[in-house]
Structure 1
Amino acid sequence: MSTMNGKAVLVTGGSRGIGAATALRLAREGADVAFTYVASEERAKEVAARIEATGRKAFMLRADAADAGDAAGAVDWAADALGRLDVLVNSVGAGVLGPLETLTLADVDRVLAVNVRAAFLASQAAAARMHEGGRIVTIGTCMTARVPGPGGTLYATSKSALIGLTKSLARELGGRGINANVVHPGPIDTEMNPADGPFAQGQAEMTALGRFGTAEEVAAMVAFLAGPDAAYVTGAEFSVDGGHAA
Structure 2
Amino acid sequence: MANHSITGKVVLIAGGGKNLGGLIARDLARHGARAVAIHYNSASSRADAEATVAAIQAAGAQAVAFQADLTSAGAVEKLFKDTVAAVGRPDIAINTVGKVLKKPLVEISEAEYDEMAAVNAKSAFFFLKEAGRHVNDNGKVCTLVTSLLGAFTPFYAAYEGTKAPVEHFTRAASKEFGERGISVTAVGPGPMDTPFFYPAEGADAVAYHRTAAALSAFSRTGLTDIEDVVPFIRFLVSEGWWITGQTILINGGYTTK
TM-score range for the pair, normalised by the shorter chain length = over 0.9
Matched, 1:207 2:207: no
Aligned counterpart, 2:168: 164
| Cα pair 1:131 1:177 within 8 Å, conserved | no
218, 224, 241: which one pairs with 1:231?
A: 241
Which has the higher mean CA deviation after the structures are superposed, 192-201 or 20-29?
A: 192-201
Give the counterpart letter for 1:244 in structure 2.
Y
Residue 142 (structure 2) aligns with: 137
1:36 equivalenced with 2:42 (yes/no): no
Q: Is the 8 A contact 1:76 1:125 kept in 2?
A: no
1:182-215 deviations in whole A, cap 9, x for unaligned? 1110011101225996632201221111221211
Query: What is the TM-score of this pair, normalised by structure 1?
Result: 0.93
Deviating more after overlay: 151-160 vs 212-221: 212-221
Of the structure 1 ranges 149-158 and 194-203, higher mean CA displacement relative to structure 2 is found in 194-203
2:126 pairs, out of 118, 121, 124, with 121
Of all paired residues, the percent bearing the same amino acid is 30
Q: Distance in 1 between matches of 2:5 and 2:207?
A: 37
Measure the CA separation in 2 of the matches of 1:104 and 1:75. 32
Question: In structure 1, what is the equivalent of residue 58 of structure 2?
Answer: 53
How much does 1:49 deviate? 0.7
TM-score normalised according to structure 2 size: 0.89
Gaps of 5+ in 1: none
Specify the SS of the correspondent of 1:11. Answer: strand
Q: CA deviation at 1:125?
A: 1.1
Cα 1:154/1:169, change in 2 over 3 Å: same
Q: Which amino acid aligns with 2:149?
A: T
Q: Which residue of 1 aligns with 2:254?
A: 244
CA distance in 1, matches of 2:204, 2:17: 24
What are the within-5 Å matches in structure 2 for residues 179-218 of structure 1?
179-194=183-198, 199-210=205-216, 211-218=222-229
1:66-105 alignment runs, 5 A limit: 66-105=71-110
Question: Does the 8 Å contact 2:94/2:141 carry over to 1?
Answer: yes
Any stretches of 5+ residues in structure 2 without a counterpart?
A: 217-221
Aligned equivalents of 2:37 and 2:14: distance in 1? 8
Q: Tell me the amino acid that sits aligned with residue 75 of structure 1.
A: F
Residues 1:111 and 2:116 aligned together: yes
Note the alpha carbon deviations across 1:154-194, whole angstroms, 9 max, x for none: 10111111111111111111111111011110011101225
| Matched residue SS, 1:23 | helix
Instruction: Evaluate the alpha carbon distance shift between residue 155 and residue 196 of structure 1 in structure 2; reply closer, same or farther with a 3 A threshold.
Output: closer
The alpha-carbon deviation at position 58 of structure 1 amounts to 0.8
